[in-house]
A and B are shown apart, each in its own frame.
Chain A
């Protein structure tokens, strides 16, 4: 994660945002993969909180452990130069129901 570490060092921007899972099937494998792929296009660290549970938004395995059903509210936290842009893209993906439904 050297590029990420570098980005954080350059500018410690932090962004947070709440999103609600709105597609009927919830965050199943394909949406989770889209989420992780999107997150990985950015340099910032991405943490996803579901209640007390906290996982890395760039790891498919961890995202699948959220079992986020329709209606679940997730708190996204990004840290790094492109944090705001990253959360913007992730929130759009979630709000657009991962292009399903």
Chain B
């Protein structure tokens, strides 16, 4: 599996408008709806599932990165999106720092192994300091796609 296998590149948001955790999640799920990865009438349900999961324990794992996620029967395997917030969003992160880089994931409840593999790839890429910094500093969808592709090629 590669990042590019589950990240909907056309849905990438290089400049989130939202200023709150809920707003950011709504905006990201809306982008997945626009990319037809999530049915329009499922938007609210998906947003609530993700926020419920956050309440059980933050996915703001530190270094300005969060990986909000939920199970969603409407997807095959795993579907994800990358989003950037220039201002940073308060996401109750483990290190109490605002989150700038989001990887939002939706996984089919019957394919937990696909979810684990996707998480492995995300952690592999954000653990790489230069790569993470470049991603946080990207200013366009194209730049982020290039970095994801680079991550797939170099972090095997």
Chain B residues within an 8 Å CB radius of A70: 112-113
Measured between beta carbons, the chain B residues less than 8 angstroms from A60 are 61
Out of B67, B126, B127, which one reaches A29, CB within 8 Å?
B67
Q: Select one of A28, A30, A33, A62 contacting B116, CB under 8 A.
A: A28
B18 beta carbon closer than 8 Å to chain A: no
CB neighbours (8 Å) of A68 from chain B are 116
Is A61 within 8 A of B112, CB to CB? Answer: no
Smallest beta-carbon distance B128→chain A, Å: 10
In the docked arrangement, what's the CA distance between A42 and B69, Å?
A: 30
Neighbouring A residues of B116 by C-beta, 8 Å: 26-28, 67-69
A69 CA to B107 CA, complexed, in Å: 14
B124 within 8 Å of A (CB atoms): yes
Q: Is the CB of B113 within 8 A of A26?
A: yes
The interface residues of chain A, by DSSP majority, are classed as loop
- Chain B interface main SS type: helix
Chain B residues positioned under 8 Å from A67 (CB to CB): 113, 116-117, 119-120
Size of interface on B: residues with Cβ below 8 Å to A: 17
Number of A-B contacts defined by CB within 8 Å: 44
A29 cross-chain contacts in B, Cβ below 8 A: 57, 59, 67, 69, 119
**Complex alpha-carbon distance, A61 and B125, angstroms:** 10
State how many residues of chain A have any CB contact under 8 Å with chain B. Answer: 18
Write the residues of chain A forming the contact surface with B, with a CB cutoff of 8 angstroms. 24-30, 33, 60-62, 64-70
Known contacts A25-B115, A64-B123, A69-B112; can you find 11 more A-B pairs with CB under 8 A? A25-B112, A26-B113, A27-B116, A29-B67, A30-B56, A61-B123, A61-B126, A65-B120, A65-B123, A66-B120, A69-B113
Supply 18 A–B pairs (Cβ within 8 Å), ascending by A: A24-B112, A26-B112, A26-B113, A26-B116, A28-B112, A28-B116, A29-B67, A29-B119, A61-B61, A62-B127, A64-B119, A66-B120, A67-B113, A67-B116, A67-B117, A67-B120, A70-B112, A70-B113
